[in-house]
Chain A
Amino acid sequence: MSDVRNEWPLWEIFVRAKSGLDHKHCGSLHAPDAKMAVQLAREVYTRRQEGTSVWVVKSSDITASDPSDKGELFDPMEDKVYRHPTFYQLPDSVNHM
């Protein structure tokens, strides 16, 4: 049974293709720490092209505000980028949901 606590954390990747442009969100990847997230982002999303700048942010660290159709339903992930099983670490005693 996969335990989400043993997964490498998820990172959102932002790439600036060349100077003068903005960083653009291009997707996500899994990495154990920020240093490797940056290296892997270069491998995966830029195929190591020179001159590109890469920002990595842990997905769970992003605070989001999306205009969305939530209605009145309470959404515990309201300020997260999306719903992901690892964004909320519940106490161990109840973490097997």
Chain B
Amino acid sequence: MQPASSLRSIAPEGASPGRRDPGVEASVRHGTAESIRLNLTPPVRYVLRLADTALIHAQRLGEWCGHGPVIEEDIALTNMALDYVGQARALLTHAARLEGQGFDEDQLAFLRDEGQFLNLTLAEQPMRKASAHSPGGDFADTMLRNFLLAAWFQLFWQKLAGSSDAELAAIAGKALKEARYHLRHAGDWVVRLGDGTDESARRLGSALERAWPYTNEMFARDAVDAEAEASGLGPARDSLAADWQREVAAVFAEAGLSLPPPTPFVSTGTLGRHSEHMGFILAEMQSLQRMYPGGRW
């Protein structure tokens, strides 16, 4: 048993009473945890698209902790969630620095309104839990999404290694190793499910039907992409489409899946307009900070 004295010596992190914190001050002043409002310039948007996709995907992956099909895979999925939380923290901190009002990663995660989140809508889709509002997803949805997103992130990280923004390049360098691992693990599972039993093939096929329309957004192009490309901040989304399709098609072939035909639907999460799932995700994720304005954790 650890002696009480050693526990007494723990210095709580972030304990600096003199630090000025505009978000906290605002919330204490107003007596409620009011949302912060970011100045969403194109570079900030560009980074938030990556940051928020990592964050919301991590939030979904965390649902599996304690409920996986086998303990070993439970641990693997949780490792993946931890990787994405780490990427989200680094990217949110960087976005906040670029934005310039002095916010931190937690204020961005817990005090922004839905309209200022810029994640891919794909990340919001159900993965496991059913609710009163949605039939939920399954392990096939989960692994397929892990695969599709890992392939997308890997291409981004590879290109971002050459970013004109040194911090973004550094984040990309570390994240690339993780993305390679996620891609291999998830890709192996897609093959296992596609070429496993009749039931797993059927479920994977259904998961693909659900996910595919949301992949168009991964390669849409707008002014934010154009400016990033021009300034050297990073690649435009559409420039990654061909490589992604190649990677995905190769694994799909092994899994006995074919690339579905293109659809006209383009989701708009990256523009701040989300699916119905996002409201529920944020209500849950942000609940404590909203309930305890000025709280210290």
Question: CB within 8 Å of B: which residues of A?
Answer: 8, 29-32, 35-36, 39-40, 43-44, 47-48
Contacts and interface: CB of A to CB of B under 8 A. Distances in A.
Contacts of A44: 72, 75
25 contacts: A8-B70, A29-B72, A30-B70, A30-B72, A31-B72, A32-B192, A35-B188, A36-B188, A39-B76, A39-B184, A39-B185, A39-B188, A40-B72, A40-B73, A40-B75, A40-B76, A43-B72, A43-B75, A43-B76, A43-B79, A44-B72, A44-B75, A47-B79, A48-B79, A48-B181
Most buried by B among A31, A32, A39, A47: A39
Contacts of A32: 192
Contacts of B79: 43, 47-48
Contacts of A36: 188
A19 B102 CA distance: 44
Interface of B: 70, 72-73, 75-76, 79, 181, 184-185, 188, 192
Nearest to B77: A43
Majority DSSP secondary structure for residues of B touching A: helix
A47 B188 CA distance: 19
Contacts of B185: 39
Sort A-B residue pairs by CB-CB distance and give the 4 closest, nearest first. A43-B76, A40-B72, A43-B75, A44-B75
A67 B132 CA distance: 61
A44 to B, nearest CB: 5
A48 B225 CA distance: 34
B149 to A, nearest CB: 18
A43 B184 CA distance: 13
A32 B73 CA distance: 12
A35 B254 CA distance: 16
A47 to B, nearest CB: 7
B86 to A, nearest CB: 12
Contacts of B188: 35-36, 39
Given A39-B76, A39-B185, A48-B79, 11 more contacts: A30-B72, A31-B72, A35-B188, A36-B188, A40-B73, A43-B72, A43-B75, A43-B76, A43-B79, A47-B79, A48-B181
Contacts of A31: 72
Nearest to A50: B177
Contacts of B72: 29-31, 40, 43-44
B143 to A, nearest CB: 12
A43 B185 CA distance: 11
Contacts of A35: 188
A40 B72 CA distance: 6
Contacts of A47: 79
A40 B189 CA distance: 12
Most buried by A among B72, B76, B181: B72
Most buried by B among A30, A39, A43, A47: A43
